[in-house]
């Protein structure tokens, strides 16, 4: 089982446009972005290492987070759902989201399985909507 859901978009959006479109697609599925980690800037600042564009978006869907917390009070160690946007080569953007079903397998609590499945379906729709948006973008 893969631990992520992903798509690659070529020559359609800038990196910043991909961040905006990903944030909007998440919003349409009920997620807010709680955190944004700029890996490129952090590695440059902390290690003086040059890295490609790479951002981690910490996405949260409050109703599902609440249900998960009610089912398992330590689940917060696995929240929020991380979504990454990276540009390894100019013009090629990869957008990946955690697969909650894969990450929840580590927890022995059957009540989480249904929640994780529903969140996975939402994240799959996010990725699919970005693929569709890219197809309809004129470059």
Tell me if the domain spanning 4-135 has CATH number 3.30.310.70. Answer: yes
Q: What is the pLDDT of residues 66-100, one digit of tens each?
A: 999 999 999 999 999 999 999 999 999 999 999 99
- Is the C-alpha dihedral spanning 105, 111, 112, 116 positive or negative? positive
The ranges assigned to domains in the chain are 4-135
pTM for the predicted model, two decimal places: 0.94
Q: What is the pLDDT of residues 18-40, one digit of tens each?
A: 999 999 999 999 999 999 999 99
């Amino acid at each position: 089982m893969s631990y992520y859901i992903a798509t690659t978009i070529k020559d359609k959006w800038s990196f910043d446009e991909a961040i905006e479109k990903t944030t909007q697609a998440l919003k349409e599925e009920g997620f807010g972005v709680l955190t944004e980690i700029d890996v490129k800037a952090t590695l440059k600042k902390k290690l003086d290492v040059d890295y490609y564009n790479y951002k981690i978006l910490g996405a949260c869907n409050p109703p599902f987070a609440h249900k998960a917390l009610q089912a398992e009070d330590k689940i917060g160690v696995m929240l929020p759902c991380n979504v990454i946007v990276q540009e390894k080569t100019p013009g090629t953007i990869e957008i990946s989201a955690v697969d909650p079903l894969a990450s929840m397998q580590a927890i022995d609590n059957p009540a989480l399985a249904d929640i994780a499945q529903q969140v996975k379906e939402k994240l799959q729709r996010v990725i699919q909507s970005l693929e569709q948006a890219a197809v309809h973008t004129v470059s």
